[in-house]
Every structure is written in C-alpha cells, then in structure tokens.
A and B are shown apart, each in its own frame.
Chain A
Amino acid sequence: DTEVTQTPKHLVMGMTNKKSLKCEQHMGHRAMYWYKQKAKKPPELMFVYSYEKLSINESVPSRFSPECPNSSLLNLHLHALQPEDSALYLCASSQGVVVNNEQFFGPGTRLTVL
C-alpha cells in the first residue's frame, strides 16, 4: 500500500464551525506533513510530525490545530476560520530514517470557508 488517503475530499464550512481533516497512511512512514496550497501557488508547509511529535509549526495561526494520534493518522482541527483560509490542504508522509527520500502526497481536501 503506497497511498496516502485524505477525508473529506471537499469541505464547506462557516466561520463559526468546527471541523477536522483526516489523513491516513499505512506505509510505515514516521514523518507526516500538512501543507496548504492556494490557486497557482506552490504548496506551503504548515506542520511536520516526526515519530508522532510535532517538529515544525511554521507560525500557523492557532485556529489550525494538528494532532497525530498514532503513526498512521494525522488530523487537522479547524475552528473559527477566515475566508482567506480557503485552499487545498495536502497531507504527505515520508520515511523517517532514510536521509534522502521523497514525500508521498494525498489527493488533498478542498476547503471553502464562507
């Protein structure tokens, strides 16, 4: 299994809603990532978890809250978002111990904040 799955594929939420994005991989990868991608822009790193510990938070607003319940799962909890947070949210994973290796990306969740 070389797949990263993300649910839901699409999400529409109001600014007062609370929702969560989910990501799952069963490749035994020990690093997992959240990226945000706006139209015609490159993916921007938000968070990195390594061995289930938060290693990088790229100064992301607290209305985004990541969680890594176990080595296969990664969540992104959303609360009080703004319309400018509308974007494609990508999850990725990579092997933990290999020095040079690629990230495997999921298909993304298209988020619209009204």
Chain B
Amino acid sequence: DQQVKQNSPSLSVQEGRISILNCDYTNSMFDYFLWYKKYPAEGPTFLISISSIKDKNEDGRFTVFLNKSAKHLSLHIVPSQPGDSAVYFCAARAGYSGGYQKVTFGTGTKLQVIP
C-alpha cells in the first residue's frame, strides 16, 4: 500500500521556466512533509519541508504548497536550472516518535531541465 504517491515518473521543463512536482498521500496522520533531491550515485539531499499547520513554505527558488483537504502537496522550482535535473522524492511523517523521524518516501519524479 503506497501511502505517498508521485504520479508523474518524469517531467521535462525548459531552463528558466517553472517546474511543478506533485505528490499525493492517503494517510491523514501525516503531519510533516519533506522534499529530497537525488542525483545518480549519491544519497538524497534535503530541499525543503512543511509542517501540516502551514500551507506554504518558501526557500529561494523552491516553494512547497500543502493542501490538506486534498491530501496533496507540490514543489515549485522557479526558475528551473539545468543543475536541478535529478530525481525528486516527497516524504511524509506520521507524528513525532521521540528521538527519530520515521518517514515514508514517494515513488519519485525524474526532472529534466533542458538548456
């Protein structure tokens, strides 16, 4: 049972344009959401996060939007750059367990930014 889904396996965007990556979840207990970027042969790198008490969080070119009623979040990258080409995972946590973060990862979206 995949509780976190990224329905677009891949996305191509022209350099300078906006990239929008989407993520849907089913578990209403998720209260903290994160986006990670992964290059080949490297571990995931944290990008941005959002708590369920917010609906938007912005950090430079990256903005995450959360729609709790729709159980949907999205990552906007503006402007997109060729170095953003990577696999993007959304991740979600169902409550703080005390001392650690147990997250469930989505299936990933491969973003290609075309120069």
Contact residues of A with B, CB < 8 Å?
4, 30-31, 33, 40-45, 48-51, 55-56, 90, 92, 94, 96-97, 99-108, 110
Determine chain B's interface SS by DSSP, over half rule: loop
Asked if B46 and A102 sit within 8 Å, CB to CB, the answer is: yes
Give B101's nearest chain A residue, CB to CB.
A94
Within 8 A of A (CB), among B71-106: 89, 96-103, 105-106
Asked if A100 and B49 sit within 8 Å, CB to CB, the answer is: yes
Known contacts A41-B107, A43-B105, A102-B34; decide if A108 and B43 are in contact (CB<8 Å): yes
Q: Name the contact of B45 in the complex, choosing from A41, A55, A97, A105 (C-beta under 8 A).
A: A105
Closest-CB distance, A45 to chain B (whole angstroms): 7
Kindly list chain A residues whose C-beta atoms are within 8 Å of the C-beta of B42.
107-108
Closest-CB distance, A109 to chain B (whole angstroms): 10
Asked if A31 and B43 sit within 8 Å, CB to CB, the answer is: no
Could you list some 16 contacts between A and B, CB below 8 A? A33-B100, A41-B107, A42-B108, A43-B44, A43-B105, A45-B103, A49-B100, A50-B99, A55-B97, A56-B100, A94-B101, A96-B99, A100-B96, A102-B49, A105-B44, A108-B42
Kindly list chain B residues whose C-beta atoms are within 8 Å of the C-beta of A33.
100
Asked if B96 and A55 sit within 8 Å, CB to CB, the answer is: no
B29 within 8 A of A: no
Complex Cα gap A97–B45 (Å): 21
B62 within 8 A of A: no
Asked if B102 and A97 sit within 8 Å, CB to CB, the answer is: no
Asked if B101 and A103 sit within 8 Å, CB to CB, the answer is: yes
Asked if A101 and B101 sit within 8 Å, CB to CB, the answer is: yes
Give B6's nearest chain A residue, CB to CB.
A42
Known contacts A4-B43, A92-B43, A108-B43; decide if A42 and B89 are in contact (CB<8 Å): yes
Closest-CB distance, B98 to chain A (whole angstroms): 8
Interface flags, B31-65, vs A, CB<8A=1, else 0 = 01010100001111110010100000000000000
Give B35's nearest chain A residue, CB to CB.
A102
Closest-CB distance, A9 to chain B (whole angstroms): 9
Asked if B99 and A103 sit within 8 Å, CB to CB, the answer is: no
